[in-house]
Amino acid sequence: MSRPRLGILLSGRGSNFEAITRNVLNGTIKAEIALVFSNRPDARGIDRARQLGLTCATIASAGADRVEFDRKVAALLTDHHVDLVCLAGYMRILTGEFVRQFPQRLLNIHPSLLPAFPGLDAQYQALQHGVKVSGCTVHFVDENMDAGPILLQATVPVLDDDTVQSLSSRILEQEHRVYSEAIQWVLEGNFRIEGRRVLRT
Ligand code: GRF
């Protein structure tokens, strides 16, 4: 039986992409990586993907029409027979048309305990707000930003001497663990969604 095919979308450093790839290679995630896509052709993550010999594609999004751009990306994912799309530091808000093409097959990770601190600079927002606990959230993507049903979360303490950098790296360690766990869970298909709740079946 052929393994499910992942499409990974990134815009930058790509450490979540690398963690997912490690877990695909060591068999923790039972899938193959069908396509790594970046809207920034110079992203570090896409360089790494090329070095690893993965199938890569880039289309520069700067100045592009959103609807047209997302149609091209969706077509690439379809052409590569992608079963599950994983956003991994993909710095774009997706069109509704794109999101509707991948029902329950589109995941994102965000570096806060959603619904707290959606959007940019979540770790900075957490420090500014003075929360004592933060973390990360893996969620299905819907048409609103950082808002779809939550699959998994992991928490970390916020320490008195934390900087954005120290808090981000503590959260990132959890991101690398929990995203793969969520991906494997979705691939196994033993969940159901009731309202906003993703429940194990
Ligand atoms: C991560 O913090 C992720 O939660 C957020 O963007 C960052 C991407 O980091 N969506 P990387 O490119 O995976 O290293």
Count of the separate structural domains present in the chain: 2
Task: Kindly report the backbone phi and psi dihedral angles of residue 101, in degrees, each rounded to the nearest multiple of 5, phi listed first.
Answer: -75, -15
Instruction: Indicate which atom in ligand 1 lies nearest the CA of residue 123.
Output: 2
Show the domain range for 157. Answer: 108-201
| Residue 13 CA, ligand 1 centroid: distance in Å | 8
CA distance 179 to 164: 21
Among the candidates 83, 102, 121, a domain finishes at 102
| CB 141, CB 149: distance < 8 Å | no
Q: Annotated catalytic, 110?
A: yes
- Residues 79, 124, single domain; the answer is no
CA distance 135 to 167: 9
The CATH code of the domain that includes 67 is 3.40.50.170
State the sign of the Cα–Cα–Cα–Cα dihedral 74, 78, 83, 89. negative
| Residue 8 CA, ligand 1 centroid: distance in Å | 12
Q: What is the CA radius of gyration of the chain?
A: 16
Q: Is the CB of 176 under 6 A from ligand 1?
A: no
Tens-digit pLDDT profile for the chain (201 aa)?
Answer: 799 999 999 999 999 999 999 999 999 999 999 999 999 999 999 999 999 999 999 999 999 999 999 999 999 999 999 999 999 999 999 999 999 999 999 999 999 999 999 999 999 999 999 999 999 999 999 988 889 999 999 999 999 999 999 999 999 999 999 999 999 999 999 999 999 999 999
| Residue 176 CA, ligand 1 centroid: distance in Å | 9
